[in-house]
């Protein structure tokens, strides 16, 4: 029985209805999970509350959490511990880089821009995993979102590609540390999806066009397809899997 009835998951990074985190939330909700959302800034707080209202029978909890701030992360998970006690998993769907560095030559990346991308898009997973660990008393599953640009050079992805390479290694080291506590850590490498973050990547349209021409499935993936793989990774269906990157990308990554 792989229903998520009686299980609680934290979903971080719903900005709007196009967010990958929102696709994940819907798949978990359909499987019966109880959901907790974290957001950054009141603008997103309002939009995640409005979205979550559409989930029938769900009584979600909301916490503001800025992952650039250690205190905010610690506070968030302490509050969650006080309010619900145990959680069974976590979806980390957070990334950021300065828009002006998501085009042109990677060579021109500034120190500040580099560190910002690493801070929000990679280190945050380490800090969040550490804060969430005490809440996963029955074991758990942590999921992060990565992209092909961390494995291969993708035009314009630049500083975020280096941050995703860091995130991938981060995920594996965490998987190695947390396995003895029966906590698994995995990543989904999603094909391009038109989200707020994707808007920041230069010439995103040609990235999508290439998927339609060259990916084995000849079409982009959907939020639902990413959400359902997240369900697999966050449930016991994947209980033997940790430290893994699953590509949900219409097979694009295998094409040379
Ligand atoms: O094509 C895509 N959209 C792909 C996205 C392909 C493969 C991977 N991904 C990844 C992204 O890199 C990211 O890690 O999926 C994850 C989710 O991204 P998304 O759903 O594409 O983008 P979006 O809806 O914008 O959500 C990302 C959110 C932020 O939104 P904004 O638009 O403000 O950047 O990350 C959150 C925020 O909600 N975020 C933060 N959360 C806490 N503290 C912070 C922060 N400091 N900064 C950004």
At 116 the pLDDT is 98
pLDDT tens, position by position, 97-121: 999 999 999 999 999 999 999 999 9
At 200 the pLDDT is 87
pLDDT tens, position by position, 142-193: 999 999 999 999 999 999 999 999 999 999 999 999 999 999 999 999 999 9
151 close to 144: Cβ distance less than 8 angstroms:
no
Domain ranges in the chain are 8-247
**Nearest CA among 8, 21, 44, 85 for reference residue 230:** 21
pTM over 0.95: yes
Is the beta carbon of 163 within 6 A of some atom in ligand 1? Answer: no
- Is 1's pLDDT higher than 70? no
Q: Does the annotation place 181 within a ligand binding site?
A: no
Query: Percent of the chain having pLDDT more than 90?
Result: 95
Q: Is 147 annotated in the active site?
A: yes
pLDDT tens, position by position, 44-74: 999 999 999 999 999 999 999 999 999 999 9
155 close to 102: Cβ distance less than 8 angstroms:
no
CA distances from 220 to 28, 95, 190, 208 (A): 22, 21, 10, 7
Q: Can you list the alpha helix ranges (DSSP code H) found in the chain?
A: 20-30, 42-52, 70-84, 111-118, 124-132, 158-178, 196-199, 204-214, 223-234
Q: Does the annotation place 137 within a ligand binding site?
A: no
Q: Is 157 annotated in the active site?
A: yes
Is the beta carbon of 208 within 6 A of some atom in ligand 1? Answer: no
> How confident is the prediction for the chain on average, in pLDDT?
97
Instruction: Calculate how far, in angstroms, residue 198's C-alpha sits from the geometric centre of ligand 1.
Output: 8
Distance CA 197, CA 182 (A): 32
DSSP 1: -
What class does CATH assign to 8-247?
A: alpha beta
Q: For residue 196, give the ligand 1 atom closest to its CA.
A: 25
pLDDT bracket for residue 202 (50, 70, 90): confident
Is the beta carbon of 252 within 6 A of some atom in ligand 1? Answer: no
């Amino acid at each position: 029985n792989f229903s998520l009835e009686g299980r609680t998951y934290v979903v971080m990074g719903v900005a709007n209805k196009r967010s990958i985190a929102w696709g994940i939330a819907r798949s978990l909700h359909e499987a019966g999970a109880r959901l907790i959302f974290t957001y950054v800034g009141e603008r997103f707080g309002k939009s995640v509350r409005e979205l979550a209202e559409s989930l029938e029978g769900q009584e979600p909890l909301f916490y503001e959490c800025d992952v650039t701030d250690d205190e905010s992360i610690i506070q968030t998970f302490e509050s969650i511990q006080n309010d619900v006690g145990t959680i069974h998993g976590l979806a980390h769907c957070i990334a950021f880089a300065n828009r002006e560095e998501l085009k042109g030559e990677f060579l021109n990346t500034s120190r500040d821009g580099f560190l910002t991308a690493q801070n929000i898009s990679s280190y945050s997973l380490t800090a969040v995993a550490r804060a969430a660990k005490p809440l996963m008393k029955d074991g758990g599953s942590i999921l992060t979102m990565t992209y092909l640009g961390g494995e291969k050079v993708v035009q314009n992805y630049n500083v975020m590609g280096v941050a995703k390479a860091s995130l991938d290694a981060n995920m594996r080291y965490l998987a190695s540390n947390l396995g003895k506590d029966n906590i698994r850590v995995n990543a989904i490498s999603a094909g391009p999806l038109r989200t707020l973050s994707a808007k920041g990547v230069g010439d995103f349209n040609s990235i999508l066009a290439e998927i339609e021409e060259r990916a084995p499935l000849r079409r982009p993936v959907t939020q639902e397809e990413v959400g359902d793989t997240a369900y697999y990774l966050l449930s016991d269906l994947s209980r033997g899997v940790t430290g893994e990157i699953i590509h949900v990308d219409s097979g694009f990554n295998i094409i040379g």
